[in-house]
C-alpha cells in the first residue's frame, strides 16, 4: 500500500452533501466575478482575435469623396441627352484622372475627362460612362470621346458618405477583431487599436497518477492530457495559458501553490481532485478556508463536481479530471469568464435548435451535455450524439462540434425530435 | 494632369476580350499548382491550428489498464450475490488503491480493496461498488466494508482498450489540430508533432492612390485597407503573411518585385491593378511574359477580374482592388491554395443549403457571391443578404458570415427559396 494517510472511518464526510446549483445560476455567479482587463494599445496588424475596448466612430465620411465606379469618362449627363434622339455626341477630353489624383479641370459643357475606377469625380461631372461604351477620335492634336447612348445622372458614381457618414458608429466595444474589422479600422487610419489585455490563466493538474507527456507509460498511470487540452481551449477563448507544475498532494503545500498562482495570474484552472475520493485535494482546498467557494456541485453531466471559488476577486475553477467533463466544464464556466475579461458581449456558446440525428437513451436527474456532431441536411440542422460519451472518454472530444442538451425531464430522446445544441468554437472553419 | 504616359487611342485593347473560366474550374486549376509544404516537428503545445503531416496510430490500447470509474470498493461480484437474498455482506479491506498505484494484493473471496476513480482495478476484482453505497466497520484493527446490494460483473470498470486498441487509426494526416486532437496526442505521449510548414504569403498592393494606414487622409486618396484585411485572412487560413511595399507603377520594376517575391515566398497575392483601366499593371504583368497566366477572368461577381498565374511552380494571385471583391477572391482562390499547402483535405468553404431571408433582385450573367448573415430559426438555416453588397463596399464585410450563391440562371431570388451558402471561417466562435 502506498504511503498515504489511512482512511478514517469516523471522519464525517461532507463531500456527499454538496448543494447543487443549476448550470445557468452557476455560470452567472462565476462570471459575475470576472471583470474586463486593462486596456492596451496594439498595432492593427497584431489585433487578430483581440477585442475592442471602445466604440469606434467614423472620423470622416466614407467614401471621403464622390468616387468613380468604372474606368471610363466623367461627363455631365445633360451633354449626352441628344443620344436619345439617335445623335452621336462627341466631347473634348480635357483631363485624365488616375486614382489618387484630384483634377483641377471642371467638366463644363462639351467636355469630358478620362477617369479610372476609384478616382475622385471632377467638379461638374455627374455620371461616368464606361470605357467599353465609348470611342476615341483625334483631330488636330485634340482628343474627342464619342457616345451613342445617354446616361442617367449619378450613374457609376459612388457618392461621398455612401457607406458611412462622419460620426457613424462603426464598431462596438466588445467586438472581436477579424478580417472585416481590420478592413474598416485600416480604412479610417486606426493603426493602433485599443483592446483589452488578454487574461493570463494558470493551469494546474492534480494527481500522482499523471505522467508528463514526455515520459514513457508506466503501469496504472496515465499521461497528463487535460493540461494541454485546457491550454488549447484557453487560447481559443482568447486567454494566455501558463502551464504550472502539478499540485502537490499535501493540502497546505497545495493551498500555497494555488494562492500564489491566484496572485500571479488572472484566473486559475485545475483539473482533477474534485470528486468524493480520498485524495480529492481541490474539493478540500475550496472548503477549508482562505478561499470563498462559489459552488462545488452543478446539476449537469458530465462535470457535476465542477467547482469554483474566488480569492480577492480572482477566480479559481476546479474542473473534473475526467477528460470529457474537463472539456465541458471549461466551455460552460471558464470560457465565459475569459470572454468577459476580454470585454466580449456574447459570453456563452451559441445555442441553436436542431433535430436529433439518433436516439439517445441515457437520462438522469441532471441536465446532460452530450458531445455530438452537427450537419446541415436540406437546410435543417441535425445533431447526432457521439457513440462514446462517457465523462471519462477522451477520444470523441476531437470529433465533436456541438454539445447536445438533454434536459433531466426528458425520458430518453428519440431521433427526429427537437433538441437544443451548444455550438463548439471553431466549427466549420 | 498627372505626369503619366498619355493614352494612345490606337493601342489595341486585349483587356476586353478575356476568356472567362467557371469558378470551380478556376479553383481546381489554381489549387492544382499548390503542393504540401515540408514536414516539420514542433512541440505539442505549439501545435494549435497546425495540420498533421502523417496519420497517427495508437501506440498502445487506451485505457492501458482496466480502470475504476468510481470512488469505491473493488470486489469480486460473486461475493455480493447473497445480498439478493436480503443478506448484508461484509468484506475485509485489504488494500487502498489511489490513482497511479498498482495493487499487489489480489482480490480473493471475502476481500475487497478501497479504490479511487481512475485507478487500476486489482487482479481478481470484476466490479467496483460506489463509496456512497457502502459502510465501514473496524474490528480488532481490521477494517470491513459492508454492502446491501449485489452488483453485476464489470460494473463501474472501464476495460482495457475500451476507447482504442493498439494500432487503431486515431488521427488522419491533414487534420487541423484543436483541443480534442491535443488531448489525444498528449494521451499517447506524442509531445512532438509532425506538421506541414505554414506557407508564407507575400502581399502587395498596387495603386498610387493608396495612403499608408499611418498617414492622414488626402483629397482623392484612400488608405490601404486590403493589405491588412488580406494579412488577417491569410492568418485565419493558416498561412504567414508578409506585407510588402506597394508595387511600383512601372511595368519592369513591378515585374522585378513580383518575381523576387515569388522566389522568396510560397504564394504572392496582390490587390488592385487587374481591371481594364490604364494603370492596371497586374493585368499587364501576367500577360506580358515571364509568368504563365492561368486565368484573368472568372464568371463571378464580385471579382470577375480575379487573375492567377504561376512561375516555377509558385502561385501568384492578382485580386481586385475593390474590398468586397478582394475579400471574396481570397476566400475562393487563395485560401484553398494555402489549405492545400498545409495538407488539409477540405480546401473549400463549407457549403450548405439555406432559406433566403429576404428578396435579392440583382441578377447577372455571372454567379454572384452575396455577403450575408446566417441565423438558425427553429432548426432551419436562414441566410439574409447584406443591404450593401456592391463590390466596392467595405463596411458590410465585417457583418457577414456567409456568401449566398446566386446562380446566373436565377431571375431574381425571393425570400423563402432555397439557396446555397458558403460559410465564412470563424462563424460562431
- Global ipTM: 0.92
Instruction: Residue A27: name the closest of A264, A331, A386 by CA.
Output: A331
Which residues between 228 and 267 in chain A have a beta carbon less than 8 angstroms from any beta carbon of chain B? 228-233, 235-236, 243
Instruction: Output the tens digit of pLDDT for each of chain B's 429 residues.
Output: 444 444 443 344 455 567 899 999 999 999 999 999 899 999 999 999 999 999 999 999 999 999 999 999 999 999 999 999 999 999 999 999 998 999 999 999 999 999 998 999 999 999 999 999 999 999 999 999 999 999 999 999 999 999 999 999 999 999 999 999 999 999 999 999 999 999 999 999 988 889 999 999 999 999 999 999 999 999 999 999 999 998 877 889 999 999 999 999 999 999 998 876 656 889 999 988 889 999 999 999 999 999 999 999 999 999 999 999 999 999 999 999 999 999 999 999 999 999 999 999 887 789 999 999 999 999 999 999 998 888 889 999 999 999 999 998 767 789 999 999 999 997 665
The domain made up of A39-61+168-196 has a fold known as: Molybdopterin biosynthesis moea protein, domain 2 (3.90.105)
- Return the residue of A nearest to B232 by Cα: A179
Q: How distant is the Cα of A238 from the closest Cα of chain B, in angstroms? A: 11
User: Residue A64 has what pLDDT?
Assistant: 97
Separation between Cα atoms, residue A59 and residue A42, nearest integer Å? 19
Q: CATH 3.40.980.10 in chain B, residues? A: 14-37+197-341
* Segment A363-414, tens digit of pLDDT: 778 999 999 999 999 999 999 999 888 888 999 999 999 999 999 876 778 9
Task: Count interface pairs A-B at CB distance under 8 A.
Answer: 352
Query: Under a CB-based contact definition with an 8 Å cutoff, are residues B412 and B349 in contact?
Result: no
Residue A335 to residues A203, A314, B284, Cα–Cα distance (Å)? 14, 15, 51
CATH number of B14-37+197-341: 3.40.980.10
Q: CATH 3.90.105.10 in chain B, residues? A: 39-61+169-196
Q: CATH 2.170.190.11 in chain A, residues? A: 67-158
Which residues between 75 and 94 in chain B have a beta carbon less than 8 angstroms from any beta carbon of chain A? none
Separation between Cα atoms, residue A355 and residue B226, nearest integer Å? 40
In B69-181 the beta strands, taken as DSSP E runs, fall at 72-75, 89-97, 111-115, 127-130, 134-139, 142-147, 157-158, 169-171
- Return the residue of A nearest to B354 by Cα: A379
Mutate to test the interface with A, among B92, B132, B216, B429 (most CBs of A within 10 A): B429
Q: CATH 2.40.340.10 in chain B, residues? A: 351-423
Q: Which of B210, B228, B278 sits opposite A116 (nearest CB)?
A: B278
Tell me which H or E stretch contains B368: strand B367-377
User: Residue B162 has what pLDDT?
Assistant: 96
Q: Buried b / exposed e across B338-358, counting CB within 10 Å, b at 16+?
A: bbbbbbbeebebbebebbbbe
Instruction: Residue B276: name the closest of A49, A132, A8, A298 by CA.
Output: A132
Query: Under a CB-based contact definition with an 8 Å cutoff, are residues A3 and A250 in contact?
Result: no
B225, A114: Cβ pair inside 8 Å? no
Is B355 in CB contact (< 8 Å) with chain A? yes
The CATH number for B39-61+169-196, chosen from 3.40.50.1100, 3.40.50.720, 1.10.10.60, 3.90.105.10, is 3.90.105.10
CATH number of B67-158: 2.170.190.11
Q: CATH 3.90.105.10 in chain A, residues? A: 39-61+168-196
Tell me which H or E stretch contains B259: helix B251-264
Which residues between 153 and 192 in chain B have a beta carbon less than 8 angstroms from any beta carbon of chain A? 158, 163-164, 170-171, 178-191
B213, A233: Cβ pair inside 8 Å? no
A47 conformational bin, left if phi > 0, alpha if psi -120 to 50, beta if neither: alpha
Query: Residue A29 in 3-state DSSP?
Result: helix
Helix residue spans in A72-178 (DSSP H): none
Residue A208's pLDDT band, with cuts at 50, 70 and 90, is confident
A143, B9: Cβ pair inside 8 Å? yes
Separation between Cα atoms, residue A416 and residue A418, nearest integer Å? 7
Per DSSP bridges, beta strands B240-243 and B200-205 are parallel
Lowest model confidence (mean pLDDT) among A135-144, A207-216, B415-424? A207-216
Enumerate residues 6+ apart whose C-beta is below 8 A from B10. none
B100, A214: Cβ pair inside 8 Å? no
The CATH number for A351-423, chosen from 2.60.120.340, 3.40.50.2300, 2.60.40.420, 2.40.340.10, is 2.40.340.10
B381, A378: Cβ pair inside 8 Å? no
Amino acid at each position: 500500500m502506498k504511503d498515504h494517510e489511512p482512511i478514517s472511518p469516523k471522519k464525517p464526510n461532507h463531500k456527499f452533501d454538496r448543494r447543487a446549483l443549476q448550470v445557468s445560476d452557476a455560470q452567472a455567479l462565476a462570471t459575475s466575478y470576472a471583470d474586463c482587463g486593462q486596456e492596451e494599445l496594439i498595432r492593427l496588424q497584431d489585433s487578430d482575435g483581440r477585442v475592442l475596448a471602445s466604440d469606434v466612430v467614423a472620423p470622416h465620411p466614407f467614401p471621403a469623396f464622390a468616387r468613380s465606379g468604372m474606368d471610363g469618362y466623367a461627363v455631365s449627363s445633360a451633354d449626352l441627352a441628344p443620344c436619345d434622339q439617335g445623335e452621336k455626341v462627341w466631347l473634348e477630353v480635357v483631363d485624365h484622372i488616375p486614382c489618387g489624383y484630384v483634377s483641377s479641370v471642371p467638366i463644363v459643357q462639351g467636355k469630358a475627362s478620362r477617369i479610372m475606377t476609384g478616382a475622385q469625380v471632377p467638379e461638374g461631372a455627374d455620371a461616368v460612362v464606361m470605357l467599353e461604351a465609348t470611342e476615341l477620335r483625334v483631330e488636330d492634336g485634340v482628343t474627342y470621346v464619342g457616345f451613342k447612348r445617354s446616361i442617367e445622372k449619378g450613374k457609376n458614381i459612388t457618392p461621398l458618405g455612401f457607406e458611412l457618414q462622419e460620426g457613424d458608429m462603426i464598431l462596438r466595444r466588445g467586438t472581436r477583431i477579424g478580417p472585416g474589422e481590420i478592413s474598416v479600422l485600416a480604412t479610417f487610419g486606426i493603426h493602433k487599436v485599443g483592446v483589452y489585455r488578454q487574461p493570463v490563466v494558470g493551469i494546474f493538474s492534480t494527481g500522482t497518477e499523471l505522467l508528463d507527456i514526455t515520459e514513457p507509460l508506466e503501469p496504472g498511470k496515465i499521461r497528463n492530457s487535460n493540461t494541454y487540452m485546457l491550454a488549447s481551449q484557453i487560447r481559443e477563448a482568447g486567454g494566455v495559458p501558463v502551464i504550472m507544475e502539478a499540485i502537490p498532494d499535501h493540502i497546505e503545500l497545495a493551498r500555497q501553490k494555488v494562492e500564489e498562482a491566484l496572485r500571479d495570474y488572472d484566473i486559475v484552472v485545475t483539473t482533477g481532485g474534485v470528486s468524493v475520493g480520498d485524495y480529492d485535494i481541490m474539493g478540500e482546498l475550496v472548503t477549508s478556508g482562505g478561499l470563498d467557494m462559489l459552488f462545488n456541485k452543478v446539476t449537469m453531466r458530465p462535470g457535476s463536481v465542477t467547482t469554483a471559488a474566488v480569492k480577492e476577486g480572482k477566480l479559481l475553477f476546479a474542473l473534473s479530471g475526467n477528460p470529457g467533463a474537463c472539456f465541458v466544464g471549461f466551455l460552460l464556466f471558464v470560457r465565459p469568464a475569459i470572454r468577459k475579461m476580454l470585454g466580449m458581449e456574447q459570453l456563452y456558446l451559441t445555442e441553436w435548435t436542431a433535430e436529433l440525428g439518433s436516439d439517445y437513451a441515457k437520462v438522469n436527474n441532471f441536465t446532460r451535455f452530450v458531445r455530438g456532431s452537427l450537419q446541415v441536411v436540406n437546410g435543417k440542422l441535425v445533431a447526432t450524439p457521439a457513440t462514446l460519451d462517457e465523462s471519462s472518454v477522451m477520444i470523441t472530444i476531437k470529433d465533436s462540434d456541438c454539445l447536445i442538451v438533454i434536459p433531466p425531464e426528458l425520458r430518453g430522446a428519440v431521433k427526429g425530435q427537437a433538441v437544443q445544441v451548444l455550438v463548439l468554437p471553431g466549427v466549420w472553419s
